[in-house]
Structure 1
Amino acid sequence: MSPAPVSRWTAARLAEKAAEIVSDQELPPIVQAGHPVLRTQAIPFDGQLDDALLTALIEVMRRTMHAAPGVGLAAPQIGLPLRLAVVEDMWAPDEDVVRMRNRTPLPFFAVLNPAYAPLGNERAAFYEGCLSVRGYTAVVRRPARIEARWTTPGGATRRAEFAGWQARILQHETDHLAGTLYLDKAEVRSLCTNEEYSARWAHPTPEAAARELGF
């Protein structure tokens, strides 16, 4: 897969768009697949937004993520090609889901300029959705453990290991910043509508779907 083109937005345009987003009394719409902002490499953060604007933008992204609802949101998903994402997973899934998917609580935090690398060769395959691909889900095989690196909104450099569903969330949101959608990495034959998923394949693992759909 060829790298996505790099966004050509200027620092001034980024700041103008961010100010527009935070000043609107309505939450920003989540752009959908087909919008070009989702298919460009977002611009690294290097101070284009001042501290107050960055803080306000992160809060808007948090509220937008909650309202969707979702467990992560990247800035390009609200039309801003900046290497910024927010994550939070405090849902209470049932015990089978917790065990099979290694899904543990992930408190809210924001990441600037994130990157990740696999730790080991283990891969995990599960159904995955996206707020920017409304109505569909597909199985994605991803590294089960990663090391992530990012900058905090306060300017500190962070490095941490993540496993299970937390690792999946970090990978999914970081991929957005490279112009990559989960569909680019999905088992295509697993693709189904949310209605079909709920009716047939809403199990802790995708093994039944793999047998029936042939992936």
Structure 2
Amino acid sequence: MGTPDDRAPLAERVGQLLDAGLPLTIVAAGDPVLRRGAEPFDGQLEPALLARFVEALRITMRAAPGVGLAAPQVGVELRIAVIEDPAPVPEEVRRVRGRVPQPFRVLVNPCYEPVGDARAAFFEGCLSVPGWQAVVARPAEVRLTGQDEHGRALDEVFSGWPARIVQHETDHLDGVLYLDRAASRSLSSNQAMAERWAQPTPEEAARALGFELP
């Protein structure tokens, strides 16, 4: 646990970041902040500043737009992330991917572990890697533990697309990008995705691009 003096620079930096205006700037791959891993949140931001920061993450995520955003993606090395997914997708996509709406939620100090051995592979993108997507095989179901922004304990099992979102955002807090887990031969531009790989599953892409699915 840090001392007040240790915390002052971080709180000051977050305050300056928020005062510069919203939405916040999302840092791109290549910035070391995305690779260092974030420190556990244990009160480095006093409640009013934390509330402002959480709201800034929400505004920035929605403006991007995205379904999740982690603090390191805006240059803040704290284990805080937000998620929200209205899931505006066709019924077939919803069914195949298990993509169901998720309300806005704050994840503080989240950690996940697989539930069972099942894995699911789908194209995935990232606000810090704009313009590209790749297929990532992830546990189909995970148990997520941590807290919310009020310090209340979180212990919940996620499956389908929500499981993918919480894994992606928690990975950010560990300095891991989705590309680290992706099938490299699947890497596709957003244009290629729109023109070739808009199917609910990546099976056709796997055959054409030459990568394996679990």
TMscore range, shorter length:
over 0.9
Kept after mapping to 2: 8 A contact 1:14/1:82: no
Structure 2 equivalent of residue 16 of structure 1: 12
Q: 1:141 aligned to 2:137?
A: yes
SS of the aligned residue for 2:122 comes to: strand
1:175 aligned to which of 167, 171, 176: 171
Structure 1 equivalent of residue 186 of structure 2: 190
Q: Distance in 1 between matches of 2:9 and 2:129?
A: 26
Kept after mapping to 1: 8 A contact 2:14/2:53: yes
2:147 aligned to which of 128, 136, 151: 151
Kept after mapping to 1: 8 A contact 2:22/2:60: no
Q: Distance in 1 between matches of 2:168 and 2:13?
A: 24
1:47 aligned to which of 43, 50, 66: 43
Structure 2 equivalent of residue 3 of structure 1: none
Q: 1:85 aligned to 2:86?
A: no
2:198 aligned to which of 194, 202, 207: 202
Structure 2 equivalent of residue 105 of structure 1: 101
Q: Matched residue pairs, number?
A: 206
List gaps (5 residues or longer) in structure 2. 1-5
CA shift for structure 1 position 162: 0.3
Q: 1:26 to 1:156 in 2, by over 3 A?
A: closer
Letter in 1 for 2:99: R
Q: What TM-score, normalized by structure 1, do the two folds share? A: 0.94
CA shift for structure 1 position 11: 2.2
Q: Distance in 2 between matches of 1:91 and 1:144?
A: 18
Kept after mapping to 2: 8 A contact 1:85/1:174: yes
- Deviation string 1:83-114 (CA, Å, 9 cap, x unpaired) is 00000001321011001000001100101100
SS of the aligned residue for 1:127 comes to: strand
Q: Distance in 1 between matches of 2:18 and 2:134?
A: 33
- Deviation string 1:46-67 (CA, Å, 9 cap, x unpaired) is 1000000000000000000000
Q: CA RMSD in A?
A: 0.8
Q: Distance in 2 between matches of 1:26 and 1:99?
A: 35
Q: Distance in 1 between matches of 2:16 and 2:111?
A: 28
- Deviation string 1:112-159 (CA, Å, 9 cap, x unpaired) is 100000000000000000000010000000000000001111111110
Kept after mapping to 1: 8 A contact 2:22/2:59: no
Q: Distance in 1 between matches of 2:113 and 2:22?
A: 36
Q: Distance in 2 between matches of 1:133 and 1:121?
A: 29
Large movers: runs of 4+ above 4 Å = none
CA shift for structure 1 position 14: 1.8
